[in-house]
Structures are given as C-alpha cells and as structure tokens.
Amino acid sequence: MGWAEEATSRPRRRGPNWGRVAGWTVLSLILLITLFPFYWMLRTALSTNNAMYLDPSNPLPVQFSWGGFRRVFGLASPAEAAAEGGTTGSIHFWLYLRNSVIVSTTITIGQVLFSAMAAYAFARLRWRGRDVVFFIFLTALTIPPIFVQLPNFILIRDLGLLNSLAGIILPSFFMTPFAIFFMRQFFLGISREVEEAAMLDGAGHVRTFFGIIVPMSVSPILTLSVLTYITSWGDYFWPLLVGRADNARVLTVALGIFQSQTPQTGPDWAGLMAGTIVSAVPVLLIFLLFGRRLVDNLGYSGVK
Amino acid sequence: MRHTPFWRRVGSGVVLATVAGMMLAGCSSTGTTASSAASPGTSQAPGAGTEISYWLWDTNQQPAYQQCAADFEKESGVKVKIEQYGWNDYWQNLTTGFASATAPDVFTDHLSYFPQFVSQGQLLNIADKVSADNVDLAQYQDGLADLWVGQDGGRYGLPKDFDTVAVFYNTKMVEKTGVSADELAKLTWNPTDGGTYEKLIAALTVDKNGKHGNEAGFDKKNVAVYGLALSGNGLNASGQQTWAPYALSNNWYFGDKTPWTTQWKFDDPALIQALGWYRSLQQKGFMPSVDIALSEQDPLKGYLAGKYAMVTDGSWMNSSYLGQDGVATKVAPSPIGPSGKRASVFNGLSDGIWSGSKNQDAAWKWVKYLGSSACQDVVAKSAVVFPAIKTSTEKATQAFTDKGWDVSGFTVQVTEGTTALLPIADHWSEVNDKVTAAIETYLKNGDASALKKANEEVNALFK
Amino acid sequence: MSEASRRRPSRRASTTQLAGLSLAQRRREARVALAFVAPAAIGFIVFYLVPSLRALWFSFTNQNLVGSGRFVGGRNYAKLVADPLFWNSLVVTVEYVAINIGVQTVLAIAVAVLLQRLTRSVVIRGLVLLPYLVANVVVALVWFWMLDYSTGFVNVLLEAVGVDKVAFFGNEVTAIPTIALINVWRYLGYTSLLIFAGLQTIPKDYYEAAAIDGASEWRMFTSVTMPLLRPVLALVLVITVVGSFQIFDTVAVTTKGGPVNATRVIYYYIYQQAFERFDLGYASALAAVLVVLLSALAYLQLKLMRSNSSDLA
C-alpha cells in the first residue's frame, strides 16, 4: 500500500491505480529480461548437443534429455556422453561442491567478523589518524585484482599452500575493502546513546560491541554475509591459480575446465548449462532462507 | 578491562569456528600431485614410480595419448599424468605456470608461442639428447624437425603432428550446383574475377527469396545461405583458415625468410590484391561481413544450421565437421591461384620440455616416446590428426579412409609441396595484434593504408 | 530530531572526534581500536599492501613475467604516455563505465523502489538477484550465444519482427554498449539489493508527512527518497564505478579487445601486457596509473556526495 493510502483516510482515486499498473509493468519487464537467459540455460541443459546445433533457435528443448545434468553429477558413462555430444571428462561433482562450501563458509565467517570489528573501530571508536587509515584501506578497492594476485600466488606457493583449500581461503579471510566500507556505513547510523548507555552500565568497548551493537546489526551483518558467500562462491580466477589439483578444486573452476573439454562438435553446452544451474542453486537457497530476515529487519535501528 | 565470561565465550566460539574451518581445509589438502611445486622431488634418474605431468589442449586426441602413456609406463615405469585444458585456458595456465615455477614437465607446443618461450628460456634445449640417443630426424615429414630449432641453434622440441587447411563443403548444396568432386579439386581463383572458385561460391549463395548469387535479382542485403563462411577467430595475422590460402597462392609470403622472420610484407601489393578480392566477396553478399564473423563463436554452428555452404578450416577440425551426422560433408582442396599452384599454411605441433622441470631425464624419455612411431602410430589409428612421422601419416590417412572420410584435400598440399610455413618470429603476439586490427580495418572499409602503417610498426619491432 | 542530529558524526567531528576525551579514555579507545583493526590490518598488509608495493616497484623496472628485471626509472611511464593503445583503452573503458553505470544505477533505483512499494516478496527479490549468482564466464558465454548473429535467439526474434539482424559484437559501434548492457543484466539485482537495504533506513514518518502535505509519488521520490538515500547511493556508486572500470571477463570471452581495438578495455590491455607479452614492468605501470585514477575518482565521489553525513542529521 502506498504511503498516501496508509497515512490518510482520503477516499481512493476513482478507477484503477495507474501508478501501480505502470510499476508492475516495469517490474515485470525487468524480471522478464532478467530471467529469460535462465530459461535459455534450462532449455539448453535439457537438450541434446548434436540435435541442438541443427535447430539452434528453437525456444523449446531440442531432443529433450537429462544427459546434461547426468554428466554434471558424474552419472553418465563416457559412451553415453559421447553419443549425445557431451564431454567425456570426469567431474567429481560432490567433491567440488564440498570444496566450494568449505571455502565460502570459512571466508564468510572470517571476513565478516574481522571486517565488522575493523569497521566498528573506524565508525565508532575515536583514535588519531582514523580517517586517513580508513581511506588507505578504501584505496585497496581500486587496485586491479591482477596486480595483487600474482604476488599473492607466489606467497602462497612459498608458504607451501598451493593446491590446498587453505591457500584459496587465506587472502580473503581477513577482510575486503568492500566489507569494511559496507559495515562502516551501517555502524555510522547507530545512535551513540545506545553505546553510552552500555558504557554507563560498566561494559567495555568489546562487551558493547559483541553484546549490543552486533545483535542490533543482525540485518547488515546478514546481508554482508550473504553477499560475501555469493561472491566467494563465484570467484574463479584466484581458485584457478591456486587450486588446480582435484582435491582443492572448487565448483567454478571445475565448470571452467568442464567447459573447455570440448568434445567433437564444440563445447558441451548442455552439460555446461546444467552445471551452471546446479552450482547456482545452493546460493539461491541461502538467499531465500535468509532473505526475509535480511531486509525486513533492516529497519531504522535504535532511536525513534 | 575486565574479561567477562561472556566475552570469552564469544571469543572462543569464533576461534573454534575458524580453526575448524582451517582444519577442514587442511585435511582436504593431503597429498599434493606431481604438478605442484610443493613436491621436493629432485630425482634426475628416472626410477620406477617417477611421475611427470603432460599437458595438451585437444580432447579429441586425449584418448590416444592416454594409451601412449599407458604403454610408456609399462615400458619404462615412468607414470605420466595427462592434463587437458581448453585452448584459451591452456596458454594462460602455462604462462602462469612459468611465472610461478609450477609448469608441467612436458607440454604440447605451438609455432606461434614457441619463439616467445625460447626467448624467455622456458624450453629445455634437447639438441644434446637428440644426438646422444640417435633420434632419427629424417623419419619426420620434410622440414618439420627443423621448425623447432631456435635462432641459437638449439633444438626445443620433437615434431608431433602437422595440419593443413582445406574446404569443408555441404555435399547436397554443392551437388545442386552441378559441380562434380573432380571439378572441385581443380577450381581456380584469381584476384580479378575470382575464377571458377567464385562462380561456385556465387551459385551456392542463396538469398531469402531463393535467388542464387549468380542469378539476376539476387538481393545481397538479405542472404539466407552464404556460399563461403568467414571465421572471426581466423581473422588474424596468419589468416590460416581465412585469407591465407589465397594470398599464399598469389606469389606472396608473410615475410623475408622463414623460420625467424624479421622483415614483414603485410603491405605487399600481392597481399592487398588477394585481400581486396576477399573483400569483394563480402560486398557481393557471398561471404559474411567482418561484423557478422566477429559476432559468432565459430562458423561450425552456422554451418550445421545450414547458413554456410562451404567453410575453409584446418585438418584439426576433421572430427568436428566429418564426424557429425546432421550435414553430409566432404573435403575439397583449396583452389589453385595465380601462382599456378594451390596453397595452405603448414603448421606443426611439438612436444617440449619445461626448462624448470625437476624430472628432466624422465621427461626426455617421454618426449622421445611421443616422437617415435610407437606412439604416433597409436595417434594415427585414432584418425584425429596427421602425425609427423611419415609412416604414421600414411597410417592416419588410411584410418581416415576406413572411417569413410576422404581427407585427400588436406594431404594433397603435402604431397604436391604447396604448403607455406606458419610465421615463426619473435614478438609474434604483438605482430598478431597489430596486423589483425589492420586486416579487420581493411576488410571493413577498404583502406589499405592501415596495412601499410601496421607493417611499418611491426618492422620497427625488429630493428 | 535532536537525537538524529547526534547519530551521524559530521565532518567537523572527524577532526575533533578526540575532543572531549580524557587522556586515559583516548589511550583506552586507541588500544581497543588497535585490537579491533588488527586482524583486518594483517590481511590488508600481507595480501594487499605488500603485493601492491611490489607491483609498484615492478613498474619502475623491466621485470619479465618469468624472469628478472632491472631498474629502468620512469621508462614504462614515458612509454605509457606515448602509447595510443593506452589512451584508446581509457576512452573505451570510460565509454563502457558511462553506459554501464548510467543504465544500471537508474534501473537499480527503479527496481529497489518498485520492490519496496509493490511487494514484500522475498522470492521476487531473489529472482532479481539471480544473475549475480552465475559465474562471470558463463554469463558471457550465454549472452554470446543468445546474441550470435546467425543462430542466436535475439537475432532470430529481431528477424521475425522484421528488423535487421545486428552483429552485436562485431560492429565497433555496438560492441561496447553490448558488453555494458550484458553487465547491467548481471549486476542489476546486486545493486538494487544494496539500494533496497538503504531504502529501508528511511523512516516512514517522512513519507507520511509528505503525503499529508499532498505530495505526489514522484514528488516524494525526489524530495524524500533521493536526498535521504545519498549515503547509500554514494556507497553503491563508489563500489560499482570502481568495479566497472575493472571489466575483464566478458571481453576475454567474447571480443578479446576487438573489433579493431573497440573493446580493448584497460584491464584487458594490462592482462595482455602481462600474460601475452610477458612485460610485467609495463603492465604494472599501467595498473599503477589505473589505481591512481580510480582512487581519485572514489575520493571525488565521496566528497561530492558528502557521504559521511546524511540529511537525516
């Protein structure tokens, strides 16, 4: 309901609410464009490669088959795969999924925790040079990843952590500039009175932070966690550099390798699309699970 | 500051979670493979159980090489771990491997990248090993072995296979034009009127109203089927599967000498003539424009969808074009040009050893095996590429024939000696970038000055 | 309103933030701050600062990707200034950023507002976010395929409607806008989610008061929503602009810098110098220039939008 309707008891305008109609039209259009490629991916995932080349713009699956999904989960034999024009490479789907989960979960926990702590120091604590240091942290945003990835790679190699999940996790484990920036903006919005009340009760800064501020900031923290999880889940270049061996391979890298294993007539589109859909499902689930808490509670916190 | 129990609980909880995460991560990293630098192997003498890594990019060939690896292990006890990456990833991963000292022991090498690797010192010089072990270099097709000799006289790989370029065509469409297979093998072209080759292309082109390219009323703005495809990928400085077959048969070569070209001829009138004719095909509507070609991933998809009647492509695409069931396809050799002969770029691959390999002796054994008929015959039988050893090439041609595929359109270039080497030069990456942009410009707007300028710039690199 | 005025530290406070604290208090806060910042600082120093300084050093050498290098002073920078491809890449990238951010921000605000006004559904919010969940490379591939000239669905549709087919990636004029719009598709949900979160912090009182005063929807949007959204918008713009300048994956998969350098964005150019020419020195110099440019841009944006304060204060 629009605010106008809520706030007043004026009679509604006669006739349909053109504003809402226009709004829904625009939203529907945007949703359509957003979702159509996914329909295309699904349609491709359920097609047979060889048949698809002959009829590429058919909006329906061409020669319907579950082959794409079966290849992704490693359930298709090489003969079956070759018959459908799919990649015959093996893919240890569950292993890579597990690796992705471990990597993303660990990174999220560490990054959110440490970034929130640092953000609190930048937003709420008072110390000399605070804003200068914050700006320096911020400039890390502008550094092209490739600049730091090679030296970091050499560092990880020298630490003996190549081809290990720890090596993948380490650089993002402590912070990213975005996380600090994001949490700081939200901490800035918390009223000082809350902290002052806590301090009057004898709590130190640490107790105040973990006991009062954090519970109040569940929504931004949750939002950041979900975003961090999704971002680290979809990271490709760094895990590719550091985790090529099977035991350290994450899902995105596996998909990339899967895609480059071109069989006879070209990339295994059905398999690749199936793999993409499957790897997007876990993060979508997480978002749906936490989504409501995410934004509904992101209310005006503290003082009213 | 008092440490309250609450704080400790929170703190320890966090620490536990983190440690658990790291432990999980640590547990899963047990056992590094031979391809990671963490392995301290310093063995030079290959005993049984040594493992080396080998990279290649072509999945079609992978089964054959797995077989070679299995046979090799039985014979020598050295285990070969084969890793395959798609073309783009392959070179990027290799470069990263060089930079971080985690490159594979042996890898498939390509003429366009080989000069760069030699000048960066990443390839092991095997000249001594070749002479010490009496490797018979004459068993390879003529000229192939010397391709891999550096400017310093060192030898940096053993020949693996070679490829040429020919024309894949839609047999049904070509039948309709009334041209027979024999006539196809004798087509001619010239920069003026395109010869019988252009006549065929015109006949194959069909517009949306069903009119052919050689009929009155042909609408070049609404083409349904193009007589000749244009590969966006192939529009580079070597033109291997696009313009090179024509330019090379117009009495032209890329540069002054080969291998190790230092003076380029991209502003030569013979090239501009050939490109001009190529462009005229686009203007007449017989071949898609550069815009269209660059908006496609490769002509294969369009070909299978029936939008192209003929595609010039390399023998590495045999399985892709001849192995599919949707469109009946055959191979014709490239047309004969003003020089009186046909032409094709001759490319070869080799197997090279990384200079930083910790298992050089084992790597050499593997390379020797790969370069021997024991392995190349296995590859030949799989009918995917043409192996470098003469006897293996024959076996491969036979294997293709057994499959029902006539690949004489490719082999005729070798038997008639009408091939020209893919350019081998330092700074090739930069030459390629500059000349590709110039060729794209020329084909788009007919401005030959772009080629002249590019030629000056690339020549300047070699001063 | 008096409480609100104390909520956001004004810029004055940043210099006088320490005023009103006793020495003991200052010391204690500094100690706590150190403890709080320490882990993030370790990560920053080890994985951001040190590599960056190292790369900066490389920019003054002729460091090779696989070998060594010698100090060569400002030679790389001189080469950079005289390099037409460098300036071309800046122009191309700016064009990309303008289209990408322009379209994306407007649409994201629209979507966020619509999401807030029309529906509380988490599912729809999730659907809008969906493109962000797909790997960059796959997004590029799928769109490359859908926009394919002869077999892509979009062109088939255009033909069916009677419009000429478009060579999206092959035409110099359409190449960059195409890539820009593909990335709008990808990041729209993400950006609108951030703005949506910001919208939630605007108290309903303001809208109710405006409604009582008889303001129209549009008026409420321009006079209430936009001004109060400023801090969040500043955050979003800094993030998205900086990220947009670093466009790489889509180009690497589709056009590889072509046609005729029309999509050779700065990041791709840097990548080519490092990985294809093995010239790490020059690549580092290019990257250093990019860092300076982006930092200046970020600083300007934050200043212009006065993001540390909010009109709520």
Rounded to an integer, the average pLDDT of B323-332 is 90
Contacts with B301 from chain A: Cβ below 8 Å: 53, 56, 266
In chain B, whose CA is at the least distance from the CA of C258? Answer: B437
In chain B, whose CA is at the least distance from the CA of C141? Answer: B297
Out of B22, B37, B300, whose CB is closest to A166?
B22
Q: Clarify whether residues B183 and B156 are in a common domain.
A: no
What is the C-alpha separation between B257 and B271, in angstroms, rounded?
Answer: 16
Q: Clarify whether residues B409 and B429 are in a common domain.
A: no
Contacts with A248 from chain B: Cβ below 8 Å: 28-29
Strand-strand pairing, B344-353 and B158-163: antiparallel
Q: Which of A19-33, A263-277, C21-35 has the highest mean pLDDT?
A: A19-33
Q: Clarify whether residues B234 and B273 are in a common domain.
A: yes
Q: What is the separation of C-alpha C281 from the centre of its chain, rounded to a whole number of angstroms? A: 26
CB-based burial label for C144 (10 Å; 0-12, 13-18, 19+): buried
Per-residue confidence (pLDDT) for residue C304, from 0 to 100: 79
Interface contact flag, C148 B441, Cβ < 8 Å: no
Apex A242 CA angle, C282 and B233, nearest 5: 60
A82-86, B184-188, C157-161, range with the lowest pLDDT: A82-86
Contact status, residue C250 vs residue C186, Cβ threshold 8 Å: no
Q: Which chains touch C (3 or more CB pairs under 8 A)?
A: A, B
Judged by CB atoms within 8 Å, which residues 29-58 of A form the interface with B? 50, 53-56
Q: Please name the residue that has the structure tokens 């860092």.
A: C291
**pLDDT value at C10 more than 90:** no
pLDDT category at A211 given cuts 50, 70, 90 is confident
pLDDT category at A252 given cuts 50, 70, 90 is confident
pLDDT in tens, B87-127: 878 898 898 888 878 899 999 999 989 999 998 899 999 99
Per-residue confidence (pLDDT) for residue B388, from 0 to 100: 94
Helical (H) or strand (E) element with B56 = strand B51-56
Helical (H) or strand (E) element with B330 = strand B329-332
A92-106, A236-250, B10-24, C288-302, range with the lowest pLDDT: B10-24
Q: What is the pTM of this model?
A: 0.84
Mean pLDDT of all residues belonging to chain C:
84
What is the C-alpha separation between C177 and C175, in angstroms, rounded?
Answer: 6
**In angstroms, what separates the C-alpha of C260 from chain A's closest C-alpha?**
24
Q: Token digits for B29?
A: 């990293």
Is residue A106 classed as helix, strand or coil in its secondary structure?
helix
Contacts with B445 from chain C: Cβ below 8 Å: none
Q: Clarify whether residues B338 and B212 are in a common domain.
A: yes
In a domain, B296, yes or no: yes
Q: Does residue B398 belong to the interface with chain A, where contact is any CB pair within 8 Å? A: no
Q: What's the one-letter identity of residue B251?
A: N
Per-residue confidence (pLDDT) for residue A303, from 0 to 100: 27
Interface contact flag, A147 C246, Cβ < 8 Å: no
Out of A98, A105, A162, whose CB is closest to B102?
A162
Contact status, residue A87 vs residue A70, Cβ threshold 8 Å: no
Contact status, residue B200 vs residue B335, Cβ threshold 8 Å: no
Enumerate the β-bridge partners of residue B329. B170
**In angstroms, what separates the C-alpha of B86 from chain C's closest C-alpha?**
13
Q: Clarify whether residues B213 and B303 are in a common domain.
A: yes
Q: What's the one-letter identity of residue B404?
A: G
pLDDT category at C195 given cuts 50, 70, 90 is confident
Q: Token digits for B456?
A: 């000056």
pLDDT in tens, B357-399: 999 999 999 999 999 999 999 999 998 899 999 999 999 999 9
Mutual orientation of helices A145-158 and C280-304 as an angle, nearest 10°? Answer: 120
CB-based burial label for B445 (10 Å; 0-12, 13-18, 19+): exposed
Per-residue confidence (pLDDT) for residue B32, from 0 to 100: 31
pLDDT category at A293 given cuts 50, 70, 90 is low
The CATH number given to whatever domain includes residue B94 is 3.40.190.10
Q: What is the 3-state secondary structure (H, E, C) of A248-261?
A: HCCHHHHHHHHHHC
Mean pLDDT of all residues belonging to chain A:
79
Residues near B189 by Cβ (< 8 Å), separated by ≥ 6?
A: B195, B196, B197, B198, B246, B249, B277, B335, B336, B337
Judged by CB atoms within 8 Å, which residues 4-23 of B form the interface with A? 4, 6-7, 10, 14, 17-18, 21-22
Q: Clarify whether residues B308 and B452 are in a common domain.
A: yes
Interface contact flag, C148 B301, Cβ < 8 Å: yes
Q: Token digits for C285?
A: 């110099």
Per-residue confidence (pLDDT) for residue B165, from 0 to 100: 95
Q: What total number of domains does chain B contain?
A: 2
Interface contact flag, C260 B429, Cβ < 8 Å: no
Per-residue confidence (pLDDT) for residue A262, from 0 to 100: 62
Per-residue confidence (pLDDT) for residue A302, from 0 to 100: 29
Q: Which residue has the higher pLDDT, B206 or C304?
A: B206
Out of A20, A33, A206, whose CB is closest to C118?
A20
What is the C-alpha separation between C41 and A174, in angstroms, rounded?
Answer: 8
Out of B121, B297, B444, whose CB is closest to C67?
B121
Rounded to an integer, the average pLDDT of B202-214 is 92
Q: Clarify whether residues B396 and B328 are in a common domain.
A: no
A190-194, B226-230, B424-428, C126-130, range with the lowest pLDDT: A190-194
In a domain, B20, yes or no: no
Interface contact flag, A266 B4, Cβ < 8 Å: no
The CA distances from residue C52 to A46, B68, B96, B417, in Å, are 46, 45, 19, 54
Contacts with C156 from chain A: Cβ below 8 Å: 57
Q: Clarify whether residues B206 and B333 are in a common domain.
A: yes
Q: Which residue has the higher pLDDT, B313 or B92?
A: B313
**pLDDT value at B11 more than 80:** no
Rounded to an integer, the average pLDDT of C266-277 is 90
Enumerate the β-bridge partners of residue B167. B312, B332
**In angstroms, what separates the C-alpha of B175 from chain C's closest C-alpha?**
24
In chain B, whose CA is at the least distance from the CA of C142? Answer: B297
**pLDDT value at A205 more than 90:** no
CATH of domain C84-304: 1.10.3720.10
Q: Clarify whether residues B289 and B434 are in a common domain.
A: yes
Rounded to an integer, the average pLDDT of A249-269 is 73
Q: What structural domains does chain A harbor?
A: 12-90+261-288 (no CATH), 93-259 (1.10.3720.10)
The size of chain B, in residues, is: 463
pLDDT in tens, A133-178: 988 888 887 787 877 887 888 888 888 888 899 999 999 999 888 8
In chain B, whose CA is at the least distance from the CA of C255? Answer: B294
Q: Give which of A114, A260, A261 to mutate to test B binding, by max B Cβ within 10 Å.
A: A260
Contact status, residue B229 vs residue B292, Cβ threshold 8 Å: no
Judged by CB atoms within 8 Å, which residues 81-140 of C form the interface with A? 107, 110-111, 114-115, 117-118, 120, 122-138
Residues near A291 by Cβ (< 8 Å), separated by ≥ 6?
A: A226, C122, C125, C126
pLDDT category at A266 given cuts 50, 70, 90 is low
Helical (H) or strand (E) element with B226 = strand B223-228
Q: Clarify whether residues B200 and B84 are in a common domain.
A: no
Out of B7, B93, B304, whose CB is closest to A206?
B7
**In angstroms, what separates the C-alpha of C175 from chain A's closest C-alpha?**
19
Contact status, residue C200 vs residue C232, Cβ threshold 8 Å: no
Contact status, residue B281 vs residue B199, Cβ threshold 8 Å: no
Interface contact flag, C148 B1, Cβ < 8 Å: no
Per-residue confidence (pLDDT) for residue A87, from 0 to 100: 65
Torsion region of B190: left, alpha or beta (phi above 0 gives left; psi -120 to 50 gives alpha): beta
Interface contact flag, C298 A142, Cβ < 8 Å: yes
Tell me what percent of the residues of chain C surpass a pLDDT of 90.
Answer: 31
What is the C-alpha separation between B345 and B245, in angstroms, rounded?
Answer: 7
pLDDT category at C130 given cuts 50, 70, 90 is confident
* Domain encompassing residue B187: 165-346+425-460
Tell me what percent of the residues of chain A surpass a pLDDT of 90.
Answer: 13
In a domain, B19, yes or no: no
What is the C-alpha separation between B191 and B276, in angstroms, rounded?
Answer: 7
Spans of all domains in chain C: 84-304
Rounded to an integer, the average pLDDT of A69-91 is 72
In a domain, B17, yes or no: no
Q: Report how many helices (DSSP H) and strands (DSSP E) chain A contains, helices first.
A: 17, 0
Phi then psi dihedrals of residue B419, to 5 deg: -95, 160
